[in-house]
A = this chain, B = another copy of it.
Amino acid sequence: MKMFDDSLHEECGVFGIWHEPGVNVAQEIYYGLMALQHRGQESAGIAVCKTDGPRGNLDIHKDMGLVSEVFGHHELDRLTGNIGVGHVRYSTTGESNLNNAQPLSFYYLKGTLALVHNGNIVNCEELRHYLFDHGSVFRGTTDSEVLACLIAKERSEASSIEEAVKRASAHLKGGYAVIIMSPRKLVAMRDPFGLKPLCLGRKDGAYVLASESCALSSVDAEFVRDIRPGEIVTLSKDGIKSDTSLCGGKCAHCIFEYIYFARLDSKMDGVGIYGARYRGGEALAKAYPVDADIVAGVPDSGLTAAYGYAHYSGIPYANVFHKNSYVGRTFIKPTQEQRVSAVHIKLSVIEEAVRGKRIVLTDDSIVRGTTIKNLINMLRKAGAKEVHVRISSPPFLYPCYYGTDVPDNSQLIADRLSVDEICKQIGADSLGYMKLEDLSRMTGDLGVCTACFSGKYPV
């Protein structure tokens, strides 16, 4: 369950749309961002542009908050343009402020430039200092702004925006999916490993780009294909143009998209998310069978594995937790003295489903271990006889350099304790983690990055 900050974070979701002149795309971007909201709740923004307007035209609105908080009728109505980009950014403490919200927008040599970015530029500091030495200034602290300035700088020596993007990409290390809007074109690129997702859709008169296929569906666009690792795609009045000269390296798609980040109804680089997680549950049932009365999942991240586990094992699925969908970010947490638990308010046990039962409980991962411990304790208080925990990913052991915000090792329970010790610590009757070799049950023969489990980073 990912409601108690005991979780991983994804950087962002990006969305772009190119439509023939005369149509307003702002509201479609809004729906696209609604569909990507799970990828980031800190800030949201949309920038649009008229390709038949003057080169400096750009309407933009962005603010801290959810898409539905940032955009009302008033804000959407003010955005007019036939091409546009949108962004949702994930929520952390600290460096979160409006200056870092996206789309980033600038005036540059050729008019206006807007950029949305998901991922992490590993050599960002090096690039920033290179630009400083040439007199650049920055408004914020993100790698996204460094990227935008680098592209603008390259543009002064390149013959087109897509060439500038390509020149810039030669300097970049890391995992990223980026969409750039210039006055006449959208240019998208994906890092050579394909660490960050990006896909292409089409509908009447329009091309759509999005982090996940669920965002294509939300605007009734048809899925065309995933952008290839290393590919640069340009959308303009001349249609779609693809530059694949940087493609062809080893694929290393982030495994955590399949385990946790992506939405159930998305399909990513050929693999459906729901099926991946369902098969993960089946693999757990095969690897760690147990004699039990019911199978249940931690809402919402562990539910799909529970269905798979139930199916494979023949043990009936049951709902043991009710999740209060009204508990949001402004919820006032109880203080110690109120003897009320925050978990009780967000999640409550359905006692009649639990009393006297031996329970298999699935979840996607364990980070610090505090939440799962709490939940097991709640189940026992409600009369559960046994609680067997099954986790649909291997233990976290290594940091991620490509944009996934894993806590540092000192906070990772798997870094300090053995599986048996964790089992004891969280109060479970048994504990089974997905085996590294079983990950292929989820994603088949897709090239994935499992560095956070295995320490084998893509070079």
A residues apposed to B, CB below 8 Å: 27-28, 30-31, 34-35, 37-38, 41, 66-69, 71-73, 76, 105-109, 113, 132-141, 148-149, 152-156, 214, 217-220, 263-265, 267, 272, 274-275, 278, 300, 303-304, 307, 310-311, 316-319, 322, 324-328, 330-332, 334, 338-341, 344-345, 348-353
Given contacts A34-B324, A67-B326, A220-B344, 16 further A-B contacts (CB under 8 A): A37-B326, A66-B326, A68-B326, A68-B330, A69-B330, A76-B332, A108-B132, A108-B138, A109-B135, A135-B136, A136-B136, A214-B348, A265-B350, A274-B319, A307-B317, A307-B319
The 6 closest A-B pairs by CB, nearest first: A135-B153, A106-B137, A272-B352, A37-B326, A107-B138, A265-B322
User: Cβ of A330: which chain B residues have Cβ within 8 Å of it?
Assistant: 68-69, 72
B274-A303 in contact (CB<8A): no
23 A-B contact pairs sorted by A residue (CB < 8 Å): A28-B340, A31-B345, A35-B345, A37-B326, A68-B327, A68-B331, A72-B330, A106-B139, A107-B137, A109-B133, A109-B135, A134-B134, A134-B156, A135-B149, A135-B156, A136-B152, A220-B340, A220-B344, A263-B322, A274-B352, A300-B325, A307-B319, A310-B317
Tell me the bound Cα distance from A327 to B331 in angstroms: 18
Per DSSP, chain A at the interface is mixed
> Which one, B69, B218, B339, contacts A348 given CB within 8 A?
B218
User: Cβ of A138: which chain B residues have Cβ within 8 Å of it?
Assistant: 106-108
Tell me the bound Cα distance from A113 to B138 in angstroms: 10
A27-B322 in contact (CB<8A): no
B133-A137 in contact (CB<8A): no
> Which one, B148, B218, B311, B319, contacts A264 given CB within 8 A?
B319
Tell me whether A303 and B331 are in contact in the complex, defined as CB-CB below 8 angstroms, given that A106-B138, A220-B341 are known contacts: no
A139-B139 in contact (CB<8A): yes
Tell me the bound Cα distance from A278 to B316 in angstroms: 12
Interface centre among A137, A141, A219 (most CB of B within 10 A): A137
Tell me the bound Cα distance from A325 to B38 in angstroms: 9
User: Cβ of A274: which chain B residues have Cβ within 8 Å of it?
Assistant: 319, 350, 352-353
B264-A350 in contact (CB<8A): yes
- Name the distance in Å between A350's Cβ and chain B's nearest Cβ: 5
User: Cβ of A108: which chain B residues have Cβ within 8 Å of it?
Assistant: 132, 136-138
Tell me the bound Cα distance from A217 to B105 in angstroms: 41
* CB closest chain-B residue, reference A349: B265
Tell me the bound Cα distance from A76 to B38 in angstroms: 30
A137-B156 in contact (CB<8A): no
User: Cβ of A73: which chain B residues have Cβ within 8 Å of it?
Assistant: 332
- Name the distance in Å between A261's Cβ and chain B's nearest Cβ: 14
- Name the distance in Å between A291's Cβ and chain B's nearest Cβ: 18
Tell me the bound Cα distance from A325 to B41 in angstroms: 12
A267-B352 in contact (CB<8A): yes
* CB closest chain-B residue, reference A352: B272
- Name the distance in Å between A194's Cβ and chain B's nearest Cβ: 21
Tell me the bound Cα distance from A152 to B137 in angstroms: 7
- Name the distance in Å between A210's Cβ and chain B's nearest Cβ: 14
A338-B27 in contact (CB<8A): yes
> Which one, B141, B307, B316, contacts A318 given CB within 8 A?
B307
Tell me the bound Cα distance from A154 to B137 in angstroms: 12
Tell me the bound Cα distance from A345 to B119 in angstroms: 25
- Name the distance in Å between A265's Cβ and chain B's nearest Cβ: 4
User: Cβ of A325: which chain B residues have Cβ within 8 Å of it?
Assistant: 300, 325
User: Cβ of A318: which chain B residues have Cβ within 8 Å of it?
Assistant: 307
User: Cβ of A345: which chain B residues have Cβ within 8 Å of it?
Assistant: 31, 34-35, 218
User: Cβ of A304: which chain B residues have Cβ within 8 Å of it?
Assistant: 319
Tell me the bound Cα distance from A334 to B220 in angstroms: 12
- Name the distance in Å between A371's Cβ and chain B's nearest Cβ: 18
Interface centre among A41, A217, A349 (most CB of B within 10 A): A217
Tell me the bound Cα distance from A265 to B265 in angstroms: 28
B338-A28 in contact (CB<8A): yes
Interface centre among A28, A152, A348 (most CB of B within 10 A): A348
User: Cβ of A140: which chain B residues have Cβ within 8 Å of it?
Assistant: 107
Tell me the bound Cα distance from A132 to B56 in angstroms: 14
B113-A340 in contact (CB<8A): no
Tell me whether A34 and B327 are in contact in the complex, defined as CB-CB below 8 angstroms, given that A149-B137, A332-B27, A348-B214 are known contacts: yes
